[in-house]
Amino acid sequence: MTYRVCFVCTGNICRSPMAESVFRARVAEAGLDSLVEVDSAGTGGWHEGDPADPRTVSVLEEHGYDGGHTARQFQPSWFDRLDLVIALDSGHLKALRRLAPSPEDAAKVRLLRSYDPAAGDDLDVPDPYYGGRDGFEECLEMVEAASTGLLAEVREQVEGQAA
């Protein structure tokens, strides 16, 4: 049975495609790519059909990740097929939990940085869109740091399903 994870930010052109690309690489490195499906979406549809922001693509590719992406908007009906919905900041967390059709679906929504023990109380990944390239580099560092803990959680869930 496939375990499905979806990363969600505002427009699905900066943070969530970055998280999707990094986590997909981590899943493949762990040999779980046949068991875990990774994708991303935005809370809004402003950029639907667009590629990722060029700064996202260049930062990803410079660090050895895939930059290919097409933006789309998160749909409440997806909760049925998703196991985990990863919000990039507390605003997305609240919006997604409001969209959730049931308390069980709302419980699937988590903040990405909650998987990074070094994050402390600051669990938001800041939106780099209106800033310079350094914001995209910082975003990548936060995503990579949290991906280790997230992978451990997903591995535990996948191995639990297989048992």
Q: Identify the DSSP state of 119.
A: G
Looking up residue 17, the CATH number of its domain turns out to be 3.40.50.2300
6 is known as an active-site residue: no
Contact 11, 40 (CB under 8 A): no
pLDDT band at residue 160 under the 50/70/90 scheme = confident
15 is known as an active-site residue: yes
Range of the domain at 50: 3-162
Q: Identify the DSSP state of 68.
A: -
Identify the active-site residue in 6, 15, 83, 124.
Answer: 15
pLDDT band at residue 1 under the 50/70/90 scheme = confident
Can you give the pTM of this predicted structure?
Answer: 0.97
pLDDT band at residue 163 under the 50/70/90 scheme = low
Maximal CA-CA distance, the chain: 47
Tokens of 86: 């990863």
Residue in the structure block whose two tokens are 């209106």: 130
Dihedrals phi, psi of 73, to nearest 5 degrees = -100, 140
For the beta carbon of residue 108, count every other beta carbon within 10 angstroms.
19
Closest CA to 87 of 4, 142, 16, 152: 16
Q: Identify the DSSP state of 9.
A: E
139 is known as an active-site residue: no
User: How high is the mean pLDDT of the chain?
Assistant: 97
Task: Please tell me the total count of domains within the chain.
Answer: 1
